Amino acid sequence: MKSTIIQTKKKAAFTIVELLTVMSIIVILIGLLVPAINMAKRYAQLVKQKAQFHSMDGAIELYNTEFEGYPPSNALDSAGESYCGAMKLCEAMMGQDLMGFHPNSLFRADGTDGVSFDFYNSNTESARIGTYLPLESADAYRISQIYGTQGNFVNDNFVLCDVYSQQTKTGIKTGMPILYFKANVSKTSHDASTPANDIFNYLDNDELVNFGMPWEAAPPAGPAHPISSTGFDTRYKINGNPVPSDPRIFYEHTRSEKITTISRPYKSDSYILLSAGFDGEYGTRDDVYNFDKSLIDFVDFIQQNP
């Protein structure tokens, strides 16, 4: 009688060495993929930001055609109250209440004629011009919603925000205010030391910039933006010391490298739009403007121009 032997096939298990090898390969692949994914995400956001600026350019040019001039951007209104360029741009595009711009507006922070007439109440809606930007995509927020304060601004006005949304201390997730600078075509200078004589005056938005980053403590406890007129950007160090903020970086970033005989800005006959970019800081290399230029690093600039 023959014996029957049943053989079973067993798959050999991974050895420890093989398992560690596979895990190492996976870790390496993840290490290669994550930066690539992050770069793709940043590029997609950059494309989206440029598309937002393209839309805003069209809206601002339409305003320019209808009113024979661009919206003002000076830091104060006619009453001497703080009303920065970013706020004036939002009023021109959307109206102070986001219900449309009033054609007789004097661009006062309180929305009045300085006597008794309020341009932005429910009784004036029929006289308004429709918003130049769709409300759904305008990303308009009051400054107190972004920063938790309105500082020295007498009214809690709206600003238009960029596409780089981050969580703020107030609990909302939004981008940084888009800074707007109108060119003063009667001027010829482009020098941070003489802002009143410049084609573009950094002071137009300096009071808003001095609020700092809305997810950090306000300066001086927290870091200041590189283009701020006061404070230090404590995220950067030179010889172990925090780097002082310096509006000169705004003038360097907006200077046209095509003109070498004098310092001349881009968009010298119109306006500049500025997004703080991916890092949310005004004055760094990832800032986005409504023109194309390779920007210098803030720390490198300060070291080269002490």
3-state secondary structure 152-175: CCCCCCEEEECCCCEECCCCCEEC
Q: State how far the Cα of 166 lies from the Cα of 214, in Å rounded to an integer.
A: 9
pLDDT of residue 304: 83
pLDDT of residue 17: 76
Q: What is the pLDDT of residues 177-226, one digit of tens each?
A: 999 999 999 999 999 889 989 999 999 999 999 999 999 999 999 999 99
In this structure, what token pair is assigned to residue 54?
């393209």
User: Which pLDDT does position 6 carry in this prediction?
Assistant: 53
- What pLDDT score does 9 carry? 56
List the domain boundaries for the chain.
18-304
Q: Which amino acid is at 89?
A: L
pTM comes to: 0.86
Cβ atoms of 177 and 86 closer than 8 Å:
yes
Low-confidence ranges of the chain (pLDDT < 70): 1-14, 34, 36-37
